[in-house]
Structure 1
């Protein structure tokens, strides 16, 4: 219940802030162009709060916090008195109308830059792109534990998240990745990771794992937290024991233990588990017991548990002074925009899965998660969401800002506005496209919840 309330709260805060900036962009430019604004609303539906300023604009906070709008005086919607016709939006020049419509997405873009600047000034704590363990494809490519990834396909990376995104992009494009690393001897080396060999239909969210890469911060020590009474480990292992080997196989992290216990159980008979206890290495004999995993599948178990919710210490920080942070924030905005547009292009061409389309449930969960991680992560989330709103609103879909801009560009070319009939048809098409997109987003959200 706590996570649910937190998710709802932080989603409302996030969307409220970003929508306010977006609509303020429309409002501010509209007023500069002499357009009379009737209402500035954050949210839809019944107003919960409302005030009117001297210019006659109503400022409202409405009950449904999933958007907002700026309602302007327009002869196509209401009868306008002769004295106010010069203030009607439809009577402004096409360039003024373009400026008013483009101001909303531009406000979100500027907000993204500001939020990233603030994040870099505060300092963003993160995990370095240091490899903790390699298997399969990555191991065959020559990547080793302790290597720190510097660049992927010529793109500089600092954090594990940036490296994962670059690898995922190469995998979706069915291309091998050139990975430049700094090894434990401080030597720079380039390895070729054959991501083009990943099977068709691979899970795009697990590209590093599928390639055999395990980041260092993923690796939780195999430190026994508790022992189940009556289990195979009862009376043998103790809380606080650090497992370092199972049946002669070295253990570097907790995630390796289940597979080795399974192999030991399938072999049959007792095996030896090496642990560090109070600084002393002990070899203890244990026989796994048959049981079932959380999914109900038959497996072999010791009856031990490792600490849950373990969060390793951050080992990287992105921090800059107020002036140095400006170009860094601009570059990061450009990088995120390129990634977002690239993902949209890949979804359209079929190189990326439709599962990448997320809705309000995912937004709420991520908002809550980043808020828990700290101000730096929440600012990064807000910046990314603000940029996403900018890009989505610029799509040439009727109803969205981009659709209106398309109308005005056509008007510039043909020398006259589109007919009411053509614009009405476009509105219906836009509604259908948005309904389909929202339906897909909600479907992915619900599917994600069901798979948890």
Structure 2
């Protein structure tokens, strides 16, 4: 069911992003006097097609991984004499640049609007208060301790965990220092703490960005009692006779003090028979149970089919929220920050400062879309805004076949005063197609590779 849910929200998210992107090209082309023949969301065989009163074929196609706007162009077919003034190739180089830029710009504008709505509604998240810090970690050696709150990274303010994570991510692959602004509760003074990242390493297979620095959030230190409040029907727990209200105190004669400890033990014991020590109405009992198994991200993990009572996280929850104009400003700022982050990480990927395993594909995006949607509309829109920025950025890369490749051709034409030879452009398109296919193959391989 989760897979179907992820696929559904992936299609919704991508449908929004592709439609807005192509509408940018469509709208500017029409305003600049170019005749549009087809507006398609998706590739391949049409699932739905309708000719509008404006003469445009509107299409929803089978493969939702993109779209296109087909414009009248003498290079792609015969054009009648009366239609030649409306052909794309007849427009000035500056008009063609504007049409090409319109798609990515539309994605950036969508991100601003979504972020504006998100901040107007209020983004709720976990605070940046730190929990127990390993004294031998990078954070521990810098002197960070439980109760410290991170309020800035390299002078950029942070409020939520997601801000902290984004700020740290942009420094991946570097070997200098990260400057954290740290504040203690009840103390207004902010102290600057440098993290020495000269030996910082992140596992590309299982990236734990904060954990790799030894940073741990206070919310992770909340002890959840191993008290059963819910049992799944047909689960190993129900079959073994466990009941709601049972307190699990031992696991194969090893004491259990928290739900977190219990989860660690169960996860590694798929299909194993174990003995649980429990307290039921104050009376000690021992119950044998065969731990079940299921696959998560290519790994076989154990499960029992029980859930605890939800702990009180309220002291570690806060929000980022603004008024009408403040939220708009925050939306513009967040979009600019994400563009800068995308640019920075892409450069590091090219020069080898970060692993190619960090490239995500459609399956990761689908998982992110589904997970964010299950957390509510604000979370889903925040995710869509982030992907919209990435889509706009990727399309601006100077790779033939992408918008950025066409833009490169037109900029060269504007400088030289004449277009590149057709043979050069065609060769570039072939190279661009190979590069795009390689990028997609790498992303999909990373998605499917066992973690």
Give the structure-2-normalised TM-score: 0.82
Structure 1 stretch displaced more, 44-53 or 435-444: 44-53
- Equivalences for residues 243-254 of structure 1 within 5 A: 254=259
CA contact under 8 A between 1:49 and 1:60: conserved in structure 2?
yes
In 2, Cα distance between the equivalents of 1:304 and 1:171? 37
CA deviations 1:162-203 (Å, max 9, x no partner) are 212323333421223222211245253332322222358676
Residue 81 (str. 1) matches residue 80 (str. 2): yes
Alignment RMSD, CA only? 3.8
Partner of 2:273: none
In 2, Cα distance between the equivalents of 1:133 and 1:277? 32
What secondary structure sits across from 1:341 in the alignment?
helix
Partner of 1:267: none
- Equivalences for residues 161-310 of structure 1 within 5 A: 161-186=162-187, 187-199=189-201, 205-226=207-228, 239-240=246-247, 254-255=259-260, 307=308
Structure 1 stretch displaced more, 91-100 or 53-62: 53-62
Distance 1:306 1:409, change over 3 A: same
Structure 2 residue ranges without an equivalent (≥5): 266-276, 295-303
CA contact under 8 A between 1:225 and 1:239: conserved in structure 2?
yes
Equivalent residue in structure 1 for 2:354, among 331, 336, 352: 352
Partner of 2:29: 30
In 1, Cα distance between the equivalents of 2:109 and 2:361? 23
CA contact under 8 A between 1:170 and 1:176: conserved in structure 2?
no
Partner of 1:140: 141
What secondary structure sits across from 1:178 in the alignment?
strand
In 1, Cα distance between the equivalents of 2:305 and 2:60? 52
Partner of 1:387: 389
CA contact under 8 A between 1:220 and 1:255: conserved in structure 2?
no
- Equivalences for residues 360-375 of structure 1 within 5 A: 360-375=362-377
Distance 1:258 1:47, change over 3 A: closer
CA contact under 8 A between 2:174 and 2:197: conserved in structure 1?
no
Partner of 1:109: 108
Distance 1:10 1:420, change over 3 A: same
Residue 129 (str. 1) matches residue 128 (str. 2): yes
CA contact under 8 A between 2:246 and 2:280: conserved in structure 1?
no
- Equivalences for residues 287-436 of structure 1 within 5 A: 307=308, 312-313=313-314, 315-436=317-438
In 1, Cα distance between the equivalents of 2:191 and 2:255? 32
Distance 1:308 1:342, change over 3 A: farther
Aligned positions, number: 418
Distance 1:211 1:407, change over 3 A: same
1:349 deviation in Å?
1.1
What secondary structure sits across from 1:114 in the alignment?
helix
1:122 deviation in Å?
1.1
What secondary structure sits across from 1:132 in the alignment?
coil
Structure 1 residue ranges without an equivalent (≥5): 261-272, 296-302
In 2, Cα distance between the equivalents of 1:446 and 1:311? 36
In 2, Cα distance between the equivalents of 1:390 and 1:378? 18
In 1, Cα distance between the equivalents of 2:280 and 2:146? 25
Structure 1 stretch displaced more, 151-160 or 403-412: 151-160
In 2, Cα distance between the equivalents of 1:258 and 1:365? 22
CA contact under 8 A between 2:49 and 2:59: conserved in structure 1?
yes
Equivalent residue in structure 1 for 2:443, among 441, 444, 452: 441
In 1, Cα distance between the equivalents of 2:347 and 2:131? 33
In 2, Cα distance between the equivalents of 1:419 and 1:51? 37
What secondary structure sits across from 2:194 in the alignment?
strand
What secondary structure sits across from 2:179 in the alignment?
strand
Distance 1:256 1:209, change over 3 A: farther
In 2, Cα distance between the equivalents of 1:443 and 1:308? 38
In 2, Cα distance between the equivalents of 1:75 and 1:171? 47
CA contact under 8 A between 1:219 and 1:254: conserved in structure 2?
no
1:88 deviation in Å?
0.7
Residue 159 (str. 1) matches residue 163 (str. 2): no
1:305 deviation in Å?
7.5
- Equivalences for residues 6-45 of structure 1 within 5 A: 6-45=5-44
Distance 1:277 1:241, change over 3 A: farther
What secondary structure sits across from 2:323 in the alignment?
coil
What secondary structure sits across from 2:145 in the alignment?
coil
Distance 1:247 1:446, change over 3 A: closer
1:306 deviation in Å?
6.8
What secondary structure sits across from 2:59 in the alignment?
strand
CA contact under 8 A between 1:128 and 1:316: conserved in structure 2?
yes
